């Protein structure tokens, strides 16, 4: 496999983490335009742990994940009383604050004659863990894929649990859910926090893979893409957001002829899909129907 193909596939896997994190928020019935912040926080923390403190990549990504989750928890608690639109706006503001904050952090370090550490708009360079440990692009693709599959496995288990079923009830109709004795606030806090962890994890891998990160990589457009993947993929199952990613990056990027018009093509595609399938490709309705059929035919 060529380095080019491997790196496109790795990027698809990495952004899948962001799309899945957007999915987890959508499940409880709210929209976040700020998942890129958790992705960025995960990236910066992982970079700091591995490049400045010499930590192992596993430690780095793990702490990155926890930091993403912690930020998300703070945001979830601050916005707990906000409904739909106001929640969405707050997530966007929060993410922009994080990005602007990172632009102000200047703490360059000199390690083995190379400059590393956060340096405001100049970014965080020389995140060399994968070089130092002789990981090729293909190796890293395998690593990322394994992590993604593991995450999907966990989400699959979650999907069959009572907590996910109830989260979906809260997402469908929070007042009706409340009248049945559920606490929508609790589910929102838990799922937003989980989403922060997932995004932080992906961000950590992204930092290791890219070896250079800067605050402006984690702008609104990144978040909007992650959200769009989850929306067109649908909220029926975690595989939905991955299909969203595959459609955008896989399809549009591989047809090089239109790569210059990719944003236009993608925007048009999102609009078209939402008109034809407002619930996304793998919608809850679709999943419910599949389940009914399976029961009917005793598969």
Partner 1 sequence: MLSINNLETSYGLIKALKGVSLDAAEGEVTCILGPNGAGKTTLMFTLSGIIKPDAGSIDFFGTSLTGLAAPKVLREGLALVPENRLVFPLMSVRENLLAGAYTRNRSDKDEVEADIEKMFARFPVLKERQEQNAGTLSGGEQQMLALARALMSRPKMLLLDEPSVGLAPVIVNEVFAIIKQLKEDGLSIVLVEQNVVKALEVADHFYLLDQGRVTFAGTPGEMENDDVIKRAYLGGG
- Which residue ranges make up the site for partner 1 (CB under 8 A)? 166, 169, 172-173, 175-176, 178-183, 284-285, 288, 292, 295
Beta strands in the chain (DSSP E): 109-111, 114-118, 124-125
Q: How far is the CB of 230 from partner 1 (least distance, A)?
A: 18
Nearer to partner 1, 48 or 283 (CB): 283
Q: How far is the CB of 173 from partner 1 (least distance, A)?
A: 6
Q: Which two tokens stand for residue 228?
A: 């769009």
Nearer to partner 1, 70 or 290 (CB): 290
Rounded Cα–Cα distance for residues 197 and 104 (Å): 24
Q: How far is the CB of 184 from partner 1 (least distance, A)?
A: 9
229 closest CA partner among 270, 179, 279, 198: 270
Nearer to partner 1, 188 or 225 (CB): 188
Four-point Cα dihedral 126, 61, 30, 22, nearest 10: 70
186 closest CA partner among 89, 76, 66: 76
Q: How far is the CB of 256 from partner 1 (least distance, A)?
A: 40
Nearer to partner 1, 139 or 173 (CB): 173
DSSP-assigned letter for residue 115: E
Nearer to partner 1, 175 or 276 (CB): 175
Q: How far is the CB of 198 from partner 1 (least distance, A)?
A: 24
48 closest CA partner among 166, 203, 163, 194: 203
């Amino acid at each position: 496999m060529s380095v080019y193909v491997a790196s496109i596939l790795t990027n698809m896997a990495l952004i899948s983490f962001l799309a899945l994190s957007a999915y987890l928020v959508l499940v409880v019935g709210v929209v976040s335009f700020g998942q890129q912040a958790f992705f960025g926080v995960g990236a910066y923390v992982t970079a700091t742990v591995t490049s400045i403190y010499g930590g192992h990549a596993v430690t780095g990504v793990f702490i990155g994940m926890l930091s993403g989750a912690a930020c998300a928890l703070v945001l979830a608690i601050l916005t707990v009383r906000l409904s739909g639109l106001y929640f969405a706006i707050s997530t966007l503001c929060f993410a922009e604050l994080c990005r602007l904050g990172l632009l102000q952090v200047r703490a360059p370090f000199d390690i083995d004659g190379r400059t590393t550490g956060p340096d405001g708009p100049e970014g965080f360079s020389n995140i060399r863990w994968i070089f130092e440990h002789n990981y090729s692009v293909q190796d890293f693709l395998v690593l990322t894929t394994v992590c993604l599959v593991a995450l999907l496995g966990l989400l699959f288990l979650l999907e069959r649990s009572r907590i996910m079923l109830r989260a979906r009830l809260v997402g469908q109709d929070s007042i009706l859910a409340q009248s049945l004795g559920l606490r929508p606030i609790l589910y929102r806090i838990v799922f937003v926090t989980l989403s922060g962890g997932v995004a932080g994890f992906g961000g950590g891998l992204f930092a290791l893979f890219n070896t250079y990160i800067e605050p402006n990589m984690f702008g609104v457009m990144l978040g909007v893409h992650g959200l769009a993947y989850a929306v067109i993929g649908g909220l029926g199952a975690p595989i939905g957001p991955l299909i969203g990613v595959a459609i955008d990056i896989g399809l549009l990027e591989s047809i090089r002829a239109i790569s210059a018009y990719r944003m236009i093509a993608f925007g048009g595609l999102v609009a078209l899909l939402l008109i034809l399938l407002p619930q996304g490709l793998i919608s809850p309705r679709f999943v419910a129907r599949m389940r009914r059929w399976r029961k009917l035919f005793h598969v």
